Amino acid sequence: MKKIGFIGLGIMGKPMAKNLMKAGYELKVYDIVTPAVDELVAAGAARGESNADVAKDSELVITMLPNSPHVKKAVLGENGVLDGAKPGTIIVDMSSINPIASQEVCAEAEKKGCFMLDAPVSGGEPKAIDGTLAIMVGGKQDVFDKVKDILAVMGSTVTLCGDIGAGNTTKLANQVIVAANIAAVSEALVLGKKAGVKPEAIYQAIRSGLAGSTVMDAKAPMMMDGNFKPGFRINLHIKDLNNALDTGHDVGAPLPLTAAVMEMMQWLKANGHETEDHSSLVRYYENLANTDVRK
């Protein structure tokens, strides 16, 4: 399977597509943002004129889009993937969307004789660039087996979590844990600062103990440096938490911590920080405590 279509060349999709090209796959790409397409074409990809145009020449179509409505439009809409795809085409949606939307899109794809996996990722732009994303997949085992090696070009772990929708359910669980963890790190560093202990000392003292985490190691230094250049933006995390809360309501799973962090992120959005990295959640606590945790 050498011919791959790639739709969605944003902050995550662009480096993911580039890694596939470096691995020797032939890509045909499309995005509504022309400069992103131009960059990939300059690197050797073929230019797609539409979602359908990408699909007609591809055995595998990968989509990496902002949210459920964008995926539905790209796949099911006029001149969408299903308008161009041949029976047997595999669609792998790597967007982070509502699991129910994944199931709905899959049902329509199967009516056309196509197959679908939902395969959202975790790791942000840095891991998209170096090809070490964590990829969580939902769908049928035999379809997964056909594309696992391709997905492994973009990720260090590729895990089949269950049937269609399971990938996005797992991603929502991931985003709940990340959000709560960032909030806890923020809360703890502000506590230390107000009590007269340097946040850097707290971080170094506890990072190797039970409180240590990948999230802490990635985000605490950013908080202390005041570096909020986005690896994963607040507005995207708001989108994911919205999907988590909606899914929780649908299945009867209470998410009180998620709801609390959502309100903190909404404060950040209201105060102009929505395009910053989600580590800027510390700003919420700094504002409450009238302090900061900078070195």
Question: How far apart are alpha carbons 43 and 23 in whole angstroms?
Answer: 13
Question: β-pairing, 26-30 with 3-7?
Answer: parallel
Residues marked active site are found at 171
Residue with tokens 């703890």: 188
Q: Give the DSSP per-residue string, the chain.
A: --EEEEE--STTHHHHHHHHHHTT-EEEEE-SSHHHHHHHHHTTPEEPSSHHHHHHT-SEEEE--SSHHHHHHHHHSTT-HHHHPPTT-EEEE-S---HHHHHHHHHHHHHTT-EEEE--EESHHHHHHHT-EEEEEES-HHHHHHHHHHHHHHEEEEEEEESTTHHHHHHHHHHHHHHHHHHHHHHHHHHHHHTT--HHHHHHHHTTSTT--HHHHHHHHHHHHT----SSBHHHHHHHHHHHHHHHHHHT---HHHHHHHHHHHHHHHTT-TTSBGGGGHHHHHHHHT-----
